[in-house]
Amino acid sequence: MPKRKPSRQMETFPNPKKVRDYEIEISYPEFTCVCPLTGQPDFATVRIQYVPDALCVELKSLRDYLWSYRNKGVFHEAVTNRIADDLIRLLQPRWLLVEAEFHTRGGLSTTVRVETAEPKA
Q: Which of 42, 53, 64, 85 is catalytic?
A: 42
Q: What is the pLDDT of residue 23?
A: 97
Kindly report the CA angle at 10 between 9 and 12, in degrees rounded to 5? Answer: 140
User: For 104-115, what is each residue's pLDDT tens digit?
Assistant: 888 889 999 999
- Any idea where the domains of the chain sit in the sequence? 12-115
Identify whether 42 is a catalytic site residue. Answer: yes
- The reply to whether CATH 3.30.365.10 applies to domain 12-115 is no
Identify whether 56 is a catalytic site residue. Answer: no
User: For 40-62, what is each residue's pLDDT tens digit?
Assistant: 999 999 999 999 999 999 999 99
Return the closest-CA partner of residue 74 out of 30, 36, 112, 114: 36
Q: Which of 21, 33, 35, 86 is catalytic?
A: 35
